[in-house]
Chain A
Amino acid sequence: MIQNLLRVEKYVDSPLNKMQVMNDTLNQVDADQILKIHKPHISVRNLNVYLTKNHILKNVSLDIPDKAITCIIGPSGCGKTTLLKTFNRLLQNSIDVRIEGDVLVDGENIHGKGVEVENIRKKMGLLSQRPCPLPMSIFDNIAYGPRIHGIRRKKTLTLMVEKYLREAGLWEEVKDRLKSPATSLSIGQQQRLCLARGLAVKPEIILGDEATSALDPISSKKIEELFLKLKDQYSIVLVTHTLRQAKRIADYVVFMYLGEVIEAGPAAEFFNNPKEKLTKEYLDGYFS
């Protein structure tokens, strides 16, 4: 009996589950969606980030659900990108950065001692704002990841390149010119190439830092469709500037303002029924 009680308590304790429990009573349709979410894939606990003397992230705690699209929204300069970069520890590369608090991926603290940073990064594919192909051919771009992780056999690599180019919806467009430089592709194609390149290291999480903001509408639609297709296999975290994009594809939304998480919740509830005044104002376009 007591054990059961404890279990219930534990269940309710996680913010996500709290949301879930509340949601059950609020809206049955939402509940179905959220039930698909199993457990938090990335958990952030009391994260503080200082850049030189600026306090960029202030006591951020949140959970990123597994196998769903999470959109991080908020006005420019609110720390969205910084938060994303702490997930794969790219932030440490700059000087004058101080990070306090925990980021747990699959329950493992990635800032802990003895953590292989390469293994953390391998778990996450990163899509940057502007596509950044490596200075090599299309084939070598995809094969770069597998190669550094020890796959050398030409036949395996060829199969992998095809598989991931197909997954990123690029295969038909480039299959005849795998040897040409990656820069010969259009910007939209380059972004899909970067996605395929990221997928080729078999990540569990895809991080997108305004991944569609430099693209034309058609290309960004393609990328969005890809995200929707991929969310069954990957946890996807997107920083986005456009509210409409978040409305279109997000399952879970995190709203940040001046380095703090103001509100986080399932998309339907977040957009239809925001709890915080600031969120309401942002959604209504009082500031952006």
Chain B
Amino acid sequence: MRHMRVKRIEEKIFKTLMMVATLAIVVSLFMIIVAVVKRGLPAMSWDMVSKIPGGGFYIGKEGGLLNAIIGSLYIVIGSITLGLCFSLPIVLYINLYLPEKSRLAQFTRLSFDVLFGIPSIVYGAFGFTIMVYLGLRSSLLAGILTVTMLIIPILIRSIDEVVRRVPKEMKDAALSLGATRSETIRVILRQVVPGIITAVLLSVGRGIGDAASVLFTAGYTDSIPTSLSQPVATLPLAIFFQLSSPIAEVQDRAYAAALILTFIVLILSLAGRYYSRKYSKNKI
């Protein structure tokens, strides 16, 4: 009997600990959102999302943030596309073509784990060094390339996790029907589409919100770029620059930018969840 009572108390203690941890985090994150909405919402207007900055107070008194919104979307779409073009083949190669426990595969995974943890400013500095070496100016292209490098570890590690979990029987089933290894990819991709969507969402979150990597590489501008070689503004930098201004009105615009950024991420997450559910219909 006593033993049972001790067990029950233990159960309660652990349950409370978990609840406290969850609440503490949810509440503090919610407070960030409240702060952003509280200061950003008054500054929001249709102009904010439909016009480029109109000058005054160094960086923005009139006009909106359309340059940064479009810029961020350009960068994130470009780098996700480019990132997938590299990470999918890498993941499929280390999982399908290299033997299990292959040294190269393990080395690749380890290096991406390390790259995962490198601060984004280092990517920015690296991109900048290469740009200087090649004699390039800060541009949309350089921004896309740097953000691509930043998100490739995330894409690879999270897609790798789901591809590894594809049951061996499924690959064997496809192979035993006479499929070549490259033909089994179609089967595997069908199985991991939801996982790929999650990976893309994670990298969108990181890529669209990162200021340090685009600071030197993409630059900042008031206009919307019309070619890959022009500099481009991004929302995180818009927040950074405007927040460092001493003028309250400009600071409010920073919160508006943060609100827009949060909203974009929210919309993308919802869309991702919808498609993830849609494509997991056939999943085993």
Contact = CB atoms under 8 A, between A and B. Distances in A.
Contact of B282 (A124, A135, A194): A135
A134 B176 contact: no
B177 A130 contact: no
A264 to B, nearest CB: 24
A137 interface: yes
Interface stretch (A143-151, A160-168, A224-232): A143-151
B180 interface: yes
A134 B192 CA distance: 12
Tell me the dominant secondary structure on chain A's binding face.
mixed
A54 interface: no
B173 interface: yes
B282 A145 contact: no
A39 interface: no
A95 B183 CA distance: 21
Contact of B177 (A122, A136, A181): A122
A81 to B, nearest CB: 12
Among A130, A133, A134, find the residue whose CB has the most chain B CB atoms closer than 10 A: A134
Interface residues of A, number: 31
Nearest to B96: A93
Contacts of A145: 177-178
A67 B55 CA distance: 85
B197 to A, nearest CB: 15
Interface stretch (B121-129, B164-172, B236-244): B164-172
A109 to B, nearest CB: 19
Interface residues of B, number: 25
Contacts of B282: 135-137, 181-183
A128 B180 CA distance: 19
A144 B172 contact: no
Contacts of B175: 90, 93, 121
B191 interface: yes
B169 A130 contact: yes
A273 interface: no
Contacts of B177: 121-122, 125, 144-145, 148, 197-198, 201
Contacts of B281: 181
A133 B167 CA distance: 11
Interface string A197-231: 11001000000000000000000000000000000
A118 B179 contact: yes
A135 B280 CA distance: 9
Contact of B174 (A88, A94, A124, A144): A144
Nearest to A136: B282
Interface string A175-189: 000000111000000
A136 B99 CA distance: 27
B190 A121 contact: no
A21 interface: no
A133 B284 contact: yes
Contacts of B190: 134-136
A119 interface: yes
A126 B167 CA distance: 16
Contact of A88 (B99, B171, B176, B179): B176
Contacts of B3: none
B172 A149 contact: no
A118 B167 CA distance: 20
B100 interface: yes
B283 A126 contact: no
A22 interface: no
A142 to B, nearest CB: 10
B163 to A, nearest CB: 13
B178 A201 contact: yes
A148 B182 CA distance: 11
B178 A119 contact: yes
A132 interface: yes
A94 B99 CA distance: 7
Interface of A: 88, 90, 93-95, 118-119, 121-122, 124-126, 128, 130, 132-137, 144-145, 148-149, 181-183, 194, 197-198, 201
6 contacts: A93-B171, A94-B100, A125-B176, A135-B191, A181-B281, A181-B282
Given A128-B172, A130-B169, A132-B169, 18 more contacts: A93-B171, A94-B99, A118-B180, A121-B175, A125-B177, A126-B173, A126-B176, A132-B170, A133-B284, A135-B282, A135-B283, A136-B190, A145-B177, A148-B178, A148-B179, A149-B178, A183-B283, A201-B178
Interface of B: 99-102, 167, 169-180, 183, 187, 190-191, 281-284
